[in-house]
Structure 1
Amino acid sequence: MQRMIEKAGVLVEALPYIQKFRGETVVVKFGGSIMESEIGYRNILKDVAFMECVGLRPVLVHGGGKAVSKQMREAHIQSDFVHGLRVTDEQSIGIVESVLNGNVNPHLVDILLENGGKARGIHGEDIIQVKKHSGIDPETGAAIDWGYVGKVTRVDIEPITAFLNADIIPVITPLGRGEDGHLYNINADEVANAVAQALKARKLVFLSDVPGLLKDPEDTSSLITSLRTGEVEDLIERGIIAGGMLPKIKGAVEALKAGVTKVHLIDSAQPHSLLLELFTDTGVGTEIVH
């Protein structure tokens, strides 16, 4: 009986959040090591199905880099990364497209359907326009050529909103179409950010391999639970926001400026971290607000 009472207490605690966010759009991005765990990403997708069931409008953007790397190894193609981005040539982009659109995306949709949610895949290149990603090597000053790697310039939200209005969860691949008509690979964080901005989403959630923003990367107890945009530059100067977290936080600031109300960084490996962050008083990750 006590356990049943505790379960009821959890539901009561979640009630005001469910009422507050009903009808609101939440963009969820997940990828990284969790996609190597069938149990792990099945739990995440069950949480996403729950969100839709209680009236939220989730939009899922997924990665799949490890699956792409595996397929490339099997094809005896070397994977090269420069500043965290995969160098993508003509042969590689074919594998990226095949894995993301033909394998990972349909599998995630099937799992959502198994959990009672309505879901449909969207190939990113059907809704996302990009320009070729470019950069300068800070050490040599030379231009960097990532090949067919794109930077988002526009998101056509009509297919996404059509699905949402029909209570269907859109599941989007991180691919885009260039001005040259060619297919481009895109960083999934950037896609989620661009989609959230275009939709004016209430929330943008990044599920990653860390609990959130840590003052000390080696100490999970140093989690920064709440961060305001005005604090970001100081944390960058102090080196607390660095490495792979730097573009994620900068992207969060851009999203907030564009109208997203709140951005969350949470650990995908913690069971039900998505629901705990959205529907409890304390949350479990880092929330970023204006």
Structure 2
Amino acid sequence: MRDELEYADLAEFAVNILREDLGSGGDVTSRVTIEETARLTAAVVSRDRLVLAGIHAAVAVFREMDPELKADLLCKDGDRLEPGDAIMRVHGNARALLGAERSALNVLQHLSGIATLTSQYVEKLEGTGCVLLDTRKTTPGLRALEKYAVRAGGGANHRMRLDDGILIKDNHVAQCGGVEMAVRAAKAAATGLEVQVEVDTLEQIGPALDAGADRLLCDNMSVAELVQAVRIVAGRVPIEASGGVTLETIRTIAETGVDFVSVGRITQSAPAADIGLDYVFC
């Protein structure tokens, strides 16, 4: 799973989020209440039923505060946890660990929340052959980590960035004067990238295919329209359905025969998982 973090520099990430929390004066509370050389052993514990994501990012935050931190990882990203399950045990300088606690837990809670919600959508697709995709609807600065969390939850990534693929959307179509002209322009550019085009109506499918589209994104189509879209395409290119997809509707959408369903809310609206840091008496 760590290979999926190729876009993320965890050390730099840790520096940036700690800078936000520590300010210029650092953790004043720990400094005035705890001896400089005091040591602390603590367990990071799940308080929810969740799918874990972000354990290495959390360790990076702790290690930025204490480079000599000892971390015993008891789980791995993608594991399904129950309330009370220990995720890892950390031992190091007490001031450093307490100064890093909130930032490390924020990361772990946020990414595990994404992985958990993603897994719920994936479960709804079981047996359909349809694949859940994420979108670029991510928190600024956290895209690589959030998309990593999607994979931990069993989903797949769409474009990581704008240079990863061509996706012609409604505004591109309007600017070019139509679906067919937009697709032909993209194909003529010979970028070597797959050309995907968003279609809002069934009438746009024929021109898109005639122009050489490699993949279709059926945006905000009804279930009945998706059934017709699948029939028109007849397996010539993959079809992705998108727009307003919920846990209640995703299986019905998948059963129309589309190949992919993309859901923005798995990164945009996932609630944080409940994870805490508990003092361990040695």
Do the two structures share a fold, i.e. TM-score over 0.5? no
Q: TM-score, with normalisation over the residues of structure 2?
A: 0.31
TM-score by length of 1: 0.30
Q: Which structure dedicates a bigger proportion of its chain to strand?
A: 1
